[in-house]
A and B are shown apart, each in its own frame.
Chain A
């Protein structure tokens, strides 16, 4: 069941999602009241301080070899995404081909981490990607609103896993979270985690709807305690989507969680990251806040579509010494 996780030694299966390796959360998660006490007992986020720190880290100058490294790493971290009502099998096949060989003119260009599609497109993506090593991620659980009954969400998840998805991106019930029904959110994540079987679970908070940074921190802990392998900022359907401070707070949460439990959780900002410059800012924040261990496609991802072309353009600029243009890369 945990085949895919074997590559990550610090990851361990929390039984029924309620237990980390070094810390038993069952006393926290057995009732709404205890869960609320725990989440509201987390230290508050200094909003002004968080914004300022994220902005300060964003001013780091990353040049030459470090920039080349960062661009290649960012390409390897991209979850190349298409989540449109107008998606066709042809588009998904094209996207999957691009994920395997982002720059066909340059064999040294690495592949992206994954292709992210709706569940009904998983089989198509799987077929194209084959054994290339590029994963198939599927958004499930009534994405993007999450407004469906639990059994429908679970069926959605199982359907995607059966079709060959390696990773499931679920959305939390923001309505329940904001009205304080934390246990409901928690149990839903646990249930989806079980439905995932061997697939990795990414938990989407839709931070643009969570109102405060405190809520982002609480949601992060909630999802980590419930056994999510990744915490993800946004669906990309709501503005604001991923921002640097929100990602920073989530990175602090995964860092603290590993300190407390020994279990490592990944982070995926998604939506609104369009330029290489932005991507490099995120990598700086990952390195400074969570640490070197997270600078790996297994632990940090970008949910993006247009970002990849900009990364490729920058890569080409560094290789050839002249500015490139969008005419030389695929439209997607």
Chain B
């Protein structure tokens, strides 16, 4: 570092949303300042409006037939590829997690490791979940009776507010690995790891619209997603602790019988094994009867 006058001027960044594989600004034109845990300015993030949520749902709906129609094996490969690209971007994720969550370098490293490992773990589930939750049912007749798991459709995900990367992976990966497409509302105060994750998605093999990431307030956007008739499921993890809002969103979600993953009372310990519950929350069971013999 030389004398102050020759110091380089900071590039003050304003990040954008991730909708349909593109990075648009918010339709509202609004953005908000993001600070680190010590209160220092880090960057601006786009403040998503209800119309951005609407556009994201349209994009997710459009992507659904293609994504759910891929083989489970292919979805696994793509999610594994996402983990690979995240690995390449480790320094950026470390910095983002450290700033957002105020972690020490060592703990930030652990969080990023956990996040990437969890994504690899979920990638492995793509072609196995059907074997776990599907079945060949015994029936009293000359029929094969087979139950298989199918994705629910477009899932709105309110991502955890505290764990900005690991928590995000824990809600996004289980929704999309089974063939759903997702509209994700990131943590409001800690959106930057989600923004970097969007950049990773855009540069890996995930088709546009499969994951759409909105930065902004879950309390503002949540009601629009919960009442949206073209959303088939909603994960309320991001509003853990806010029981009034959770009730309101569950009531709104009832209109088109959305699958609702209810929020925990407090954010869980994301380092624990989540089990298959997060995946089965957004799966439907299809049962077919097929005659045996001629």
Contact = CB atoms under 8 A, between A and B. Distances in A.
Interface of A: 321-328
B26 to A, nearest CB: 17
Contacts of B54: 323
A322 B224 CA distance: 7
Contacts of B227: 321-323
Contacts, number: 27
Nearest first, the 6 closest Cβ-Cβ pairs linking A and B are A325-B230, A322-B227, A325-B229, A323-B228, A324-B229, A323-B54
A137 B61 CA distance: 34
A326 B230 contact: yes
Main secondary structure of the interface of B (DSSP, over half): helix
A268 B126 CA distance: 50
A322 B226 CA distance: 9
A322 B229 CA distance: 7
Interface in B220-239: 224, 227-231
Interface string B245-281: 0000000100110000000000000000000000000
A327 B224 CA distance: 18
B228 A322 contact: yes
Contacts of B108: none
A206 B173 CA distance: 49
Contacts of B57: 323
A321 B224 CA distance: 9
Nearest to B230: A325
A327 B153 CA distance: 12
B68 to A, nearest CB: 15
A323 B229 CA distance: 6
Contacts of A321: 227
Contacts of B256: 325
18 contacts: A321-B227, A322-B224, A322-B227, A322-B229, A322-B255, A323-B54, A323-B57, A323-B228, A323-B229, A324-B229, A324-B230, A325-B61, A325-B228, A325-B256, A326-B61, A326-B230, A327-B229, A327-B230
Given A323-B228, A323-B229, A327-B229, 8 more contacts: A321-B227, A322-B228, A322-B252, A323-B54, A323-B57, A325-B61, A325-B230, A326-B61
Contacts of B224: 322-323
A144 B255 CA distance: 44
Contacts of B230: 323-327
Nearest to A326: B230
A328 B231 CA distance: 12
Interface in B42-79: 54, 57, 61
A327 B227 CA distance: 14
B223 to A, nearest CB: 9
Nearest to B255: A322
A326 B231 CA distance: 11
A309 to B, nearest CB: 12
A284 to B, nearest CB: 19
